[in-house]
Chains A and B, each alone.
Chain A
Amino acid sequence: MYPVKKITKEDTWRSDDLKVHIEAHSEESKRRSKREEEHRKYRDGESLDRRHRDPDRDSRREKEKQRERESTREKSKHRDPDRDRNQDDKLEDIREDRYKERKRERDNRHRDGDEEEKRHNRGEKENSERRRDREKDRYKDRDIDMYNQWDRGTNREGEKDRDRRRAERDRERKSETDRRKEERREGEKDERERDKERERRERHRARESEQHRDEYEEKQREGERRERRSDKEHSGHKEKEHRSDREEREKRRRDKESHVAHTSHSREVEQHHQEWKESKDYFHSIKDGDREKAREREERDKRREKRHKEASESKRSDRERKHKDSSGHDLSERINTDKEVENEENKQASKDHNDYEEDFEDYEEDFEDVDEEEDDNEEEEEKEEHDKKLREDKRELSPKRREEIEAIQRAIDEENERIYSARSKPTTAESAVTQRVFTERHSDRSRTHGKIIDFVSAKQREVSQKVAKKQKKRSEELLRLIDFDFSITFSLLDLPPVNEYDMYIKNFGTANTKQAYVQCNEDNTDRDIQTEEVNMTDKWTQHPQEANAACGGSKATEDSADESTSRINTNSQWLTTFLRSAAQVMAVLIEENMAESNSVRRLRSQTDALSFSDGCIQLNTKLPFLHGRQVSLLQFSQVQRQTLLSVHPPSSKSSAVRLDGETIICVWNIWEPSRPQKILLYESEVRCCCFSPGKVTLVFAGTEIGSVVVWDLREHSGTHLNLVVGKEVWTLRYPTFSTDAVLSVVGHLSPVVSIEPVLATADTSSKSTLTADIDECLGLSFQLGSLDENGVLTLWVVVELHKGNDSGSQTDLGLRPGGKVKLLHSSSLQTTEKSPQDVIMGFGPPVSLQLKFLLSDSNHYFIGTNMGLVRHGTRHSLKVLPKFYRSQFDSCRPVEVTALDFSPSGEPLFLVGCSDGTVRLHSVLREDPLMEWSGCSSGASILSVQWSQTRPAVFCVLDGASDLHIWDLTVKDYVPFVTENIHNDRVTAMAVFGEPAKQNTFSGVALAKQSGKVEIQYFKESLTVPSAYDKEKLKSFLHNAFLI
């Protein structure tokens, strides 16, 4: 749109131009109206067509209709007031801008009616486009009109046209008036309003007519044309003046719109417009309704037009009257008061001046028509539908009876004149009209476009309408069933922005870079240990040990510990035995070395003392517990001949050690004289003792109180009393088994005077194997014979237990805890027969003093008695001969047999020492002695008689006068070979030792001194080394004896 451009154009126009323009416009409008009529023929189709082109609007309208039907009129209700308001606005705008020029007005309308434009934007746009076109056309038209105008003066063809046009218009108006009459009958409401208006108008008119009634009537009657002509003639010469005035006035008018002069007009117009608005509202409410409604509306519109016309006519008449009054003298004032009229009159005057009065009328009327139509610009669709019929009628008429109609028109012209004169404000109408003309033109354009596809589109529209209806219905029904909900927001993508560093790294991080090192300080670790782990193991121990295990570890190490301990145990058993023997050997060796070195010197010194001695060793008896004790008995082992027992009976003197009441037996190795190997203790006095027949493992002793006790030398020292004297630890052993607890029936009731092991008979065959194999042959089980003073010989079986019981035995009460050796009572023999001889002789009861078993046959026993006899018997009570061995001189006298010794050489010879100092040599086979030596000891009692171990023909005799006699039968068989009298320290006991079977034989005698010293004297080689002559001598003795 070119509002600004047009304004400027407008402003620059000259008055002439303006006039020309207006005239052209009038021409144009005439032509347009004509065209319009032609178009009206197709209007129905056009409207359809247009609807087709505006499907949105159509659909909207349909919806509205349906909603109306469904009694949901909200939208329409809303819409209607809106529209009303808009139209109000529009009308007000129109009212305000009524006096402005048409283009400016249009401009204003565009500016002010933005809202309106938006509402009808589609139509408006189309309109605006069309307007543009139309404007072009108009200019063209104007040019043509101008040309026509100029031609009109000379060329009358234009007049013809104009006449024709005028006739048409008249016809139209006639029909309209007819219609008006009809409509008056119909619309009661409208009529009422109209009545009111009419009354008002009449009142107004009455007022005015009071003043100018005469003139008015007269003029009406005479014909208004003349009046007007005169009027225009009157104003003709002032035309130019008027025009300039008009321009000025227009400007003024623009400045003061609310001028008092035209308030009445504006009020009237307002009123009129209100009516119009009401009708319009009604149209809106039933817009696009039935055709009847549309027709009604049209009728109403027409009525309105008529009213408008009437009003304008009345006004015009008023104005004209005034004008007539004032035309002569006070024109300017009149103009001020009634500008519209002036304006109109000016226009008319100008037209008159150009002899276009008629045209002007027509033009005005045309405007009226157009006005009518364009008032209802927005409803014209409906209106036009109705109009169509009428116009078609007209059209039918017009070409045929044009002449007739022209005649009629002229007749009507009078009325037209009247109407014209009554027109109050043609300009306002004009302004409104012009405004509508454009929209009309737009619609015209659109209609011309739609003409071609008229029916097709209509059909299409119908079809589409049907479909739409169907769909609508379907959707309605479905929407009742379905609930739509507004879903939650689905997050389709949430990509967080990458931070700068990551972006950098992503883009450039890997480019041209190489990560060579990472410094993370990982290798710089520091480890601290605050506490050291404590090695902990659980240990247990039990004392005394049980089952080889005295201690143990925790469970973790138990298995291995057990294994090891058991292994150790098993090994340790062997080891201990090995160590014991080895230790003994080693100790012996060491002692030997020492003793040899010592003894050599000592022997040198001692050699002088004893003639028979080759050397002498003193056993170290200076032990604290042996202090002050004498040696009552010395006994060598039969097998291990270097082993010596020394019995130290309790002395009367008190010693430092609290062992006063007990007998001490020391086991010595003569090679190890420095200390005793074992120290044995017993509570009472020991009368006799012996070693086990095999190895020196057991020591037997017969005691004063009649018990037989056994010491097991293998027992561990830990289980015995350890006595600490000075710096040395002495293990004091109590007996392993004692017969004290054995029932007295089987025990000895008197002091045991002699005790002898019973050697196996099998062994007797070979003496050589006796020593070595005796252990293997007998094991540890062998018999022991013990003899008490009453002559009861008890045989004990020595039993070795496999396992000692540390807690003591329940049954063997004599067995010490842990002891493994016990004595079982085997048998008892009463060796002394109650011989009448004894009783007769009256020497008292016989006393058995010595017991010896025959080496070759252990069943034979020999018992020395106190009657100087040696009793001979067997264990099985077999009778053997000789029953007695008696002295040569008297058979029975009270002489005690103090010593009894068999020859170790195997010859059946034995020596008997008696208390009267006689020594007899007996053969086993003869009752009488082979030799009897008396007087050599000068009456002193013989303490001990012992054969030499190495030389069968040598024996030693110790008498109570401390004289030691050594007999060598090969040298002298009547006196001792050597008699050594040891007076400075009396010898209380003697034992002969020697190793007969070895190459380096040695032999000697152990002498126990009164002072308690024990001397071991080695015999000289002459007394040691055996010779063949020894046995011959003994055999000769035997032979001689039997020969005798």
Chain B
Amino acid sequence: MDAGASTYLIRPNYKDKFKAEVAKECIGEVLREQLYAVQYDPEEAPALSRALADCIKNKLRDVGFDRYKLIVQVVIGEQRGEGVKMAARCLWDADTDSFAQDIFMNDSLFCVAAAFGVYYY
């Protein structure tokens, strides 16, 4: 490997940059589409959350975000009146990496979907 010749793209193009608003819209769209009139079922929840995560990931892939590793986390929980607190911390390059999240709630469940975009240098 020639160290001198190697150049690195350490910043994404603007059009490829992970835009939290766009991602959030995508996430919200998917959540609304898929979770509309869905009742919480503890047996279906794992499969559903996985399916949602895949769906969101694919959708985000379609949007663009070239050279981004997309990590989608979907949490589905039942609404029983308990308080829930979710938080995330990331060790990343804040210039390039970002995240978007959206929440869907109905009477029986809440769903938190967070998508983290981490740039491949």
Q: Give residues 11-69 of B contacting A (CB, 8 Å).
A: none
Tell me if A482 and B93 are in contact (CB < 8 A): yes
Interface residues on B, range: 20 to 34
On whether the beta carbons of B8 and A478 are closer than 8 Å, the reply is yes
Question: Which residues of B lie under 8 Å from residue A728 when comparing CB positions?
Answer: none
Q: Smallest CB-CB separation from B98: which chain A residue? A: A487
Q: Take A477-B3, A498-B81 as given contacts and tell me if A490 and B10 are in contact as well, using a CB distance cutoff of 8 Å.
A: no
Asked if B3 contacts A497 (CB within 8 A), the reply is: no
Task: A829 to B91: give the CA distance in the assembly, Å.
Answer: 135
Q: Which residues of B contact A477 (CB under 8 A)?
A: 3, 6, 8
Which B residues touch A474, using CB under 8 A?
1, 6, 8
A478–B83 CB distance below 8 A: no
A492 contacts B91, CB within 8 Å? no
User: Is residue A328 contacting chain B, with contact meaning CB distance below 8 A?
Assistant: no
Q: In the complex, A426→B90 CA distance in Å?
A: 59
CB distance from B93 to the nearest CB of A (A): 5
> Is B1 in contact with A470, judged by CB distance below 8 angstroms?
yes
Bound-state CA distance A492–B113 (Å) is 8
- Is the pair A484, B88 in contact by a Cβ cutoff of 8 Å? no
Tell me the residues in window 274-305 of chain A with beta carbons closer than 8 Å to chain B beta carbons. Answer: none
Judged by a CB distance under 8 angstroms, whether A495 is at the interface is yes
Question: Bound complex: CA of A496 vs CA of B99, how far in Å?
Answer: 23
Residue among A470, A484, A503, A506 making CB contact with B93, cutoff 8 Å:
A484
With the chains together, A492 CA to B83 CA distance in Å? 13
- Which A residue's beta carbon lies closest to that of B96? A482
Q: Are B91 and A491 in contact (CB under 8 A)?
A: no
Which one of A489, A492, A494, A497 contacts B114 once the chains associate, using CB atoms below 8 Å?
A492
A532 is an interface residue with CB less than 8 A from chain B: no
The reply to whether A497 and B83 form a contact with Cβ atoms under 8 Å apart is: yes
Contact with A along B76-107 (1 / 0, CB 8 A): 00000111111111111110000101010001
Contact yes or no, B92 A485, CB < 8 A: yes
Complex formed: what's the CA distance from A960 to B98 in Å? 142
Are A491 and B86 in contact, with the CB atoms below 8 A? yes
B94 close to A487 (CB less than 8 A): yes
Contact B110 A490 (CB under 8 A): no
Docked pose: A492 CA to B74 CA in angstroms: 11
Of B6, B81, B101, B103, most buried by chain A (CB within 10 Å of CB) is B81
Set of chain B residues within 8 Å of A484, measured between Cβ atoms: 91-93
Q: Are B90 and A493 in contact (CB under 8 A)?
A: no
Residue A473 interfacial (CB < 8 Å):
yes
What is the CB-to-nearest-CB distance from B2 to chain A, in angstroms, rounded to a whole number?
10
A532 to B7 CA separation, bound complex (whole angstroms): 91
Q: Is the CB of A485 within 8 A of B91?
A: yes
Note all chain B residues with C-beta closer than 8 A to A496: 83
Verify if A486 is at the interface (C-beta below 8 Å from B).
Answer: yes
* Nearest-neighbor residue (CB-CB) of B97 within chain A: A487
A841 to chain B, nearest CB (A): 140
Give Cα A487–Cα B116 distance, bound, in whole angstroms.
12
Residues on A with beta carbons closer than 8 Å to the beta carbon of B91: 484-487
Q: Is A483 an interface residue (CB 8 A)?
A: yes
* Chain B: CB-nearest residue to A475: B121
CB < 8 Å: which of A482, A483, A493, A503 contacts B85? A493
In contact, A491 and B85 (Cβ under 8 angstroms): yes
Residue of B nearest to A507 (CB): B81
Least CB distance, B12 to chain A, in whole angstroms: 13
List, in ascending order, chain A residues with CB within 8 A of B88's CB: 489-490, 492
Contacts of B71 in A (CB 8 A): none
Q: Give the CA-CA distance A496 to B91 in the complex, in Å.
A: 28
| A485–B98 alpha-carbon span in the complex (Å) | 12
Contact with B along A171-201 (1 / 0, CB 8 A): 0000000000000000000000000000000
Known: A477-B6, A481-B8, A483-B93. A489 touches B85 (CB 8 A): no
Q: Which residues of B contact A497 (CB under 8 A)?
A: 81-83
Q: Is the CB of A490 within 8 A of B99?
A: yes
Question: What string of 1s and 0s marks CB contacts (under 8 Å) between A461-481 and chain B?
Answer: 000000000100110011001
* Least Cβ–Cβ distance between B89 and chain A, in angstroms: 5
Shortest CB–CB separation between residue B77 and chain A, in angstroms? Answer: 8
Contact of B112 among A485, A492, A506 (CB under 8 A): A492
Closest CB of chain A to B121's CB: distance in Å? 5
Shortest Cβ gap from A268 to chain B (Å): 54
Is B1 in contact with A482, judged by CB distance below 8 angstroms?
Answer: no
Contacts of B82 in A (CB 8 A): 495, 497-498
Of all chain B residues, which has the CB nearest A482? B93
The one of B3, B101, B103 that contacts A490, using a Cβ cutoff of 8 Å: B101
1/0 per position for A483-523, CB-CB distance to B under 8 A? 11111111111111110001100100000000000000000
Complexed CA–CA distance, A477 and B82 (Å): 48
Given A490-B101, A492-B101, CB of A482 within 8 Å of CB of B10: yes
Q: Which of A482, A485, A487, A493 contacts B110, CB < 8 Å?
A: A493
Considering the chains assembled together, what is the distance between the CA atoms of A477 and B6 in angstroms? 10
A282 to chain B minimum Cβ distance, whole angstroms, is 33
Chain A residues within an 8 Å CB radius of B8: 474, 477-478, 481
Chain A residues near B83 (CB-CB < 8 A): 495-497
Considering only CB atoms, which chain B residue lies closest to A492 in the complex? B86
Give Cα A405 to B93, complex, Å: 69
Complex Cα–Cα for A490 and B110 (A): 18
Which residues of B have CB within 8 Å of A491?
85-87
Pick the residue among B81, B114, B121 that contacts A482 (CB under 8 A): B121
Given A477-B6, A478-B8, A481-B8: A490 in contact with B81 (beta carbons within 8 A): no
Please report the C-alpha to C-alpha distance between residue A380 and residue B91 in the assembled complex, in whole angstroms.
Answer: 40
**B1 to chain A: closest residue by CB:** A470
Q: Is the CB of B89 within 8 A of A487?
A: yes
Residues on B with beta carbons closer than 8 Å to the beta carbon of A506: 81, 107
What residues of chain A lie closer than 8 Å to B10, measured between beta carbons? Answer: 478, 481-482
Nearest neighbor of B101 in chain A, beta-carbon distance? A492
Nearest-Cβ distance from residue B73 to partner chain A, whole angstroms: 8
A493 partner, pick from B3, B92, B99, B112, beta carbons under 8 A? B112
- Determine the residue in chain A with the shortest Cβ distance to B88: A490
A495 touches B93 (CB 8 A): no
Return the chain B residue nearest A498 by Cβ: B81
In A600-630, the 8 Å CB interface with B consists of none
| Pair A503/B81 contact, Cβ less than 8 Å | yes
Q: Complex: how many Å from CA A493 to CA B93? A: 23
Produce 1/0 per residue, B109-121, CB < 8 A to A. Answer: 0101010000001
**Residues of chain B lying within 8 A (CB to CB) of residue A473:** 1, 3
**Which residue of B3, B6, B89, B110 is within 8 Å of A495 (Cβ)?**
B110
Docked-complex contact B86 and A493, CB < 8 angstroms: yes
Residues of B within 8 A of A489 (CB): 87-89
Complex contacts, B89 vs chain A, CB 8 Å: 486-490
A499's nearest neighbour on chain B, judged by CB, is B81
Name 7 extra pairs, CB < 8 A, besides A492-B88, A493-B84. Answer: A484-B92, A487-B92, A488-B89, A490-B101, A492-B87, A492-B103, A495-B110
Q: 21 A-B Cβ contacts within 8 A?
A: A470-B1, A474-B6, A477-B3, A477-B6, A477-B8, A481-B8, A482-B93, A482-B121, A483-B93, A484-B91, A487-B89, A488-B89, A489-B87, A489-B89, A490-B90, A490-B101, A492-B103, A493-B110, A493-B112, A495-B83, A495-B85
A residues in contact (CB < 8 Å) with B: 470, 473-474, 477-478, 481-498, 502-503, 506
8 pairs of A and B residues whose beta carbons are closest in the complex: A497-B83, A498-B81, A492-B86, A493-B86, A495-B84, A503-B81, A487-B90, A493-B112
